[in-house]
């Protein structure tokens, strides 16, 4: 069993549908990035893991800034276009606008932001690390906004709406669990 792309084990992960915007030598660009994670509250940091040969990496390495948007339900096609083509060959933002998606100007960075996303964060590059076969870029969020839209998830090669939450155990069950855990207190 390995964790190669598309393997049974790798497909078990549930990840975010991050949309990474940038504007640099390759022009305005967007890529899909499931490896997008909030990694610190204070300072507010977001880590993205991207291919070092991507047009996004080239833009960010030059400008030291990027946008992070969390894809909303209804934006799955946007993500598929952002993730299915490279900005080195296609103006994905131009194509996405023609398809009907909207972008707006950022307040703190040059890259455009995705309108109607579940969350938008404008980031300044804080740290860069080669991690295995990807490049981890950590951005400090300079400006953040979140609307009413629900984020979608990525799992098993598909997009998912998070419409059903798991109900909590009953009060009696929780009491019993707590008593059991207390029996195992280390002192």
Closest CA to 157 of 85, 76, 89: 76
Among 47, 55, 96, 114, binds ligand FMN (CB under 6 A): 55
Kindly identify the residues of this chain, within the stretch 64-83, that bind ligand FMN according to CB under 6 A.
79-80, 83
Taking the complex as a whole, how short is the minimal distance between the CB of residue 177 and ligand FMN, in angstroms?
A: 36
Taking the least distance from each CB to ligand FMN, the nearer of 135 and 167 is 135
Taking the complex as a whole, how short is the minimal distance between the CB of residue 35 and ligand FMN, in angstroms?
A: 4
**Which residue in the shown chain puts its C-beta closest to ligand FMN?**
83
Residue 174, classed as helix, strand or coil, is helix
Taking the complex as a whole, how short is the minimal distance between the CB of residue 142 and ligand FMN, in angstroms?
A: 21
Tokens representing 40 are 């610190």
Among 21, 56, 69, 75, binds ligand FMN (CB under 6 A): 56
Planar angle of CA 102, 105, 108, nearest 5 degrees: 140
Among 24, 28, 87, 112, binds ligand FMN (CB under 6 A): 87
Burial 65-87 (b: 16+ CB within 10 A, else e): bbbbbbbbeebbebbebbbebbb
151 sits near ligand FMN (criterion: CB under 6 A): no
Q: How far apart are CA 74 and CA 139, in angstroms?
A: 26
Pick the piece of the chain touching ligand FMN (CB under 6 A) from 3-11, 26-34, 123-131, 165-173. 26-34
Closest CA to 117 of 82, 88, 157, 165: 82
Closest CA to 96 of 110, 79, 118: 79
Binding mask 92-121 for ligand FMN (x = CB under 6 A): ------------------------------
Taking the least distance from each CB to ligand FMN, the nearer of 50 and 106 is 50
Taking the least distance from each CB to ligand FMN, the nearer of 161 and 174 is 161
Q: How far apart are CA 174 and CA 63, in angstroms?
A: 51
């Amino acid at each position: 069993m390995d964790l190669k792309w598309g393997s049974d084990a790798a497909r078990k992960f549930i990840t975010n549908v991050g949309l990474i915007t940038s504007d640099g030598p390759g022009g305005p660009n967007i890529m899909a990035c499931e490896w997008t994670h909030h990694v610190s509250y204070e300072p507010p940091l977001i880590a993205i893991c991207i291919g070092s040969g991507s047009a996004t990496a080239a833009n960010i390495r030059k400008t030291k800034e990027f946008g992070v948007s969390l894809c909303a339900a209804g934006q799955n096609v946007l993500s598929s276009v952002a993730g299915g083509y490279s900005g080195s060959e296609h103006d994905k933002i131009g194509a996405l606008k023609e398809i009907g998606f909207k972008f707006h100007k950022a307040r703190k960075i040059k890259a455009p932001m995705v309108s109607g996303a579940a969350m938008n964060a404008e980031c300044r590059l804080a740290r860069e690390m080669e991690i295995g076969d990807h490049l981890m870029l950590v951005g400090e969020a300079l400006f953040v906004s979140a609307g009413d839209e629900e984020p979608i998830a990525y799992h098993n090669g598909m997009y998912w709406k998070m419409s059903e939450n798991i109900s909590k155990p009953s009060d009696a069950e929780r009491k019993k669990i707590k008593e059991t855990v207390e029996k195992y207190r280390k002192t």
